Chain A
Amino acid sequence: MSNLNAEDEARARDLASRLGLVNLSEPDMQKLLNADRIAQMRRSALDTSVLTPADEPALVFRLPGGTP
């Protein structure tokens, strides 16, 4: 059983629906909100203020001296 109040329950259900995670159980609704909270914390810890448009992503990660 979920311990969420009605508002959080509705928010979790909406989130699950938008993500296509419609087979999650009642107790998983709490997990979904936990995930949202933790992901927000981690997103906030990404120091994007140091990035400039010239900073390219390590899309294909290679180290100096290595030839794939």
Chain B
Amino acid sequence: MSVANDLAFLSIGEAAPLIREKKLSPVDWTQALIDRISRYDTKLNAFLRFTPDIALADARRAEAEISAGHWRGPLHGVPYGLKDIIDYAGLPTTAHSAILKDNVATSDASVTARLRAAGGVFMGKLSTHEFALGGPCFDLPWPPARNPWNRDYFCGGSSSGSGVATAAGFLPFAIGTDTGGSVRNPSTMCGVVGIKPTYGLVSRRGVFPLAYSLDHVGPLTRTVRDNAIVLNAIAGHDGSDPVSVARPGVDHTALLARGVKGLRIGWLRHFYEEDIEADPQMGAAVDAAVATLRDLGAQVTEVSTIPLSRFQACNRVIMGSESYAIHEKWLRERPQDYGDVTRQRLLYGAMYSASDYINALRLRSRYTAEFHALFSDVDVIVTASAHDPACRIDDPEACEFIYSRQARAPFNVTGSPAIAVPAGFSREGLPLGIQIVGAPYDEATVYRVGAAYEAATSWTERHPACLTEG
């Protein structure tokens, strides 16, 4: 492997001690990634706004501070990107939409401020589905991001650029958002690790909303350890976010090396075997992952809960109602400034009545209580993330078909922490994945299981080669 490739796929866990010991220059690392992005992102469209000047200034500042003996922590000098619905002061937050193309943020989002305080190196704003909802779209001011494992294929969304940039070796981590699965979908499609933390754990202030009561902010990384490191930096109470929770700080890396021996794992099989039958390759990948965890010493028992279609309806009625409230004015005044797919999806929300919305919220209370009761008998739950591998990006019917074939939305309804972890590859060489779900605020155990599975399989050590071939 070349030095450039080593730097492209360096993990935060590997880089942080090297940076601290001054064996790796943040400026050199940043420059190597700038070169890689400049060379290859024309093929993938991960970035909406690439900011190498800001990145180099951040990297030089980090290097100077570390040289002076002031190391801020494991993200000091580490490059990252933000999904372009997250504010960075002085730069546009476009939501990948003509509607907001001139919308310049006046202050940082909370998550941006936390990363700035941690000494992160800001590389730019990343592609998203329009307003985190409509995609892939070819009728927007910027093209959609493409899958780095095969650029003819969909990369998932809505945090599409975040998944692509992380998988392609452009960035060691990126921040995404998740309202019905939008961190975990691109994570699975691109073969990276992405978590939707517990609702309220990471502040949403400064993030353009899709649906207030379902929106979560979470990191995408190439390894489970890196994901826990980033969550440590961005989690925490924020009084300016009304749903932010005040809890004692937790080290999410604390249990990573403990393995799963004796851990109680609930196997939520009916989501992908009965409720919505998964593609056989995806179903087999989840089954194999459960078998691996059992071989590692976990106690696996099958669990069942509310049917997937019920959860999905609850999620979609809430999402549709809340997003329509946000977009109604623009839909009335300038509907043609939205992409076709976005306009269609936003219009669903126009059709729900107040009682539909309230009933969905009433069901949410029930579903949440029923689902969380499972954790009296198990420590985590394993199920599918996506039901299908990626489809071709130029096939709108296939993209629409797989859009709702997923088991992620239930955990936006319940607010549970849920992580997508790579679980192999399809015959076509496209990533497969699993999902691990925990009890509220128990991200540490979710990471523990993810790390044990990752170590046993090494899927996260594979990287797409298509950029450097041909």
Contact = CB atoms under 8 A, between A and B. Distances in A.
Are A and B subunits of one complex? yes
B366 A46 contact: no
Contacts of B244: 68
A32 B347 CA distance: 7
Contacts, number: 127
B351 A36 contact: yes
Interface string A30-68: 011011101110110111101100011111111111111
Counting chain B residues whose Cβ lies within 8 A of the other chain, the interface size class is 35 or more
Interface stretch (B93-101, B107-115, B279-287, B355-363): B355-363
Contact of A47 (B358, B363, B372): B363
Counting chain A residues whose Cβ lies within 8 A of the other chain, the interface size class is 35 or more
B335 A21 contact: yes
B350 A21 contact: yes
A56 B243 CA distance: 18
Chain A interface secondary structure, helix, strand, loop or mixed?
Answer: loop
A13 B243 CA distance: 40
Nearest to A67: B246
Contacts of A24: 335
A23 B333 contact: yes
B359 A46 contact: yes
Interface in B363-405: 363-366, 368, 372
A19 interface: yes
A44 to B, nearest CB: 8
Chain B interface secondary structure, helix, strand, loop or mixed?
Answer: helix
A34 B343 CA distance: 12
B242 A63 contact: no
B320 A39 contact: yes
Contacts of A57: 358, 361-362, 364-365
Nearest to B214: A61
Given A21-B335, A23-B334, A63-B415, A35 B361 contact: no
B335 A28 contact: yes
A32 B312 CA distance: 21
Contacts of A66: 198, 200, 245-247, 440-441
The CB with the most chain B CB atoms within 10 A, among A20, A42, A45, A57, is that of A42
A31 B316 CA distance: 17
A25 B348 contact: no
Nearest to B347: A35
A38 B332 CA distance: 21
B245 A35 contact: no
Nearest to A44: B313
A40 B59 CA distance: 52
A48 B356 CA distance: 9
Nearest to B241: A68
- List the 8 closest A-B pairs by CB distance, nearest first: A39-B351, A45-B313, A57-B361, A66-B245, A35-B347, A58-B364, A63-B440, A55-B362
13 contacts: A21-B335, A23-B335, A43-B313, A46-B317, A48-B363, A55-B362, A59-B361, A60-B242, A61-B415, A63-B368, A66-B200, A66-B440, A66-B441
Given A43-B317, A68-B245, 11 more contacts: A19-B350, A20-B332, A21-B331, A21-B335, A23-B334, A23-B335, A31-B340, A58-B362, A61-B415, A63-B199, A67-B246
